[in-house]
Amino acid sequence: MNVVDSHSHLYCDAFDADRAQTVKRAQEAGVIHVVLPNENRASLPLLHDMKRQFPGFVSLSIGLHPEEIHDDYQQELNILRAELENNRQDYVAVGEVGIDLYWDKTFRTEQMDALEQQLNWCLQYSLPFIIHCRDAMDEIVEVMEKFRDTSLHGVFHSFTGTPADVARLRQIGDFYFGVNGIVTFKKSSVKEILPHVGLERLLVETDSPYLAPVPHRGKRNESAFVVEVVKFVAKEMVLETDVVAHATTQNAKNLFGLKV
Ligand SMILES: [Zn+2]
């Protein structure tokens, strides 16, 4: 099986002790490429280290994570934007961006403003977005509406919305949806979106080190486990595992322009 892990934080300190072995296990499991979403200014050098260490195996994204948005967010955005302007060729996406009101609603307005600014980078630099949305579907839709009838495209990663949410977003644009270990959790309703999203717009990911799929639930997640997501999705959609792996790999290549 050849599969792309479209969202992993492989650069974070959870992998400091065994990063090379983690990459090796991923490759042995059939993972041919990993997309690394950025979190803030501090994580950018870590992403670039990954590219030096594993050339051809990882692609980088640039953006300010919604949980990283505080009083100084405009300054952070200016720095990230300058980096994108100067090194456009280093990036395959703007992300992860979005809105997260699960823990804290303090910066709701700022999160919406930061998302709008970063979606404008997508248009300006011809890059797809990687959106993180948690407890914020109305806010996301409100911002996205401003981009109706533009060329804006991208993926709603770790998507946990309903089929109605998929339909709502599709009124705005033809987007991709990423599923991870959550889809394998017994009480999760994420599997219900699969027939609505369809194989043509589905991406698989780990979001490692978080959200390990069954049967590794509760452990540190890693890219090799994306195979469990593929297997689960295949079973749910009554398809061969290789068909899901192939389709989601093609989707990742098309969306991010990966040369793998
Ligand atoms: Zn993430």
CA of 113 to the centre of ligand 1 (A): 20
CA of 240 to the centre of ligand 1 (A): 28
Task: Tell me the per-residue pLDDT of 48-105, one tens digit each, with 9 for 90 and over.
Answer: 999 999 999 999 999 999 999 999 999 999 999 999 999 999 999 999 999 999 999 9
Given a cut of 90, whether residue 5 has pLDDT beyond it is yes
CA of 195 to the centre of ligand 1 (A): 24
CA of 159 to the centre of ligand 1 (A): 11
Distance (Å, rounded) from C-alpha 184 to C-alpha 65?
Answer: 25
CA of 142 to the centre of ligand 1 (A): 22
Range of the domain at 22: 3-256
Query: Which residues have CB less than 5 Å away from ligand 1 (the ion)?
Result: 207
CA of 7 to the centre of ligand 1 (A): 6
Contacts of 69 (CB under 8 A, 6+ apart): 76, 107, 110, 111, 114
Q: What is the band of 215 on the pLDDT scale with cuts at 50, 70, 90? A: very high
Distance (Å, rounded) from C-alpha 3 to C-alpha 20?
Answer: 18
Name the β-bridge partners of 59: 35
Q: Is the pTM above the cut of 0.95?
A: yes
* Number of residues assigned to the chain: 260
Domains of the chain: total = 1
The CATH number assigned to the domain holding 177 equals 3.20.20.140
Helix (H) or strand (E) holding 176: strand 176-179
Task: Tell me the per-residue pLDDT of 100-156, one tens digit each, with 9 for 90 and over.
Answer: 999 999 999 999 999 999 999 999 999 999 999 999 999 999 999 999 999 999 999
CA of 119 to the centre of ligand 1 (A): 17
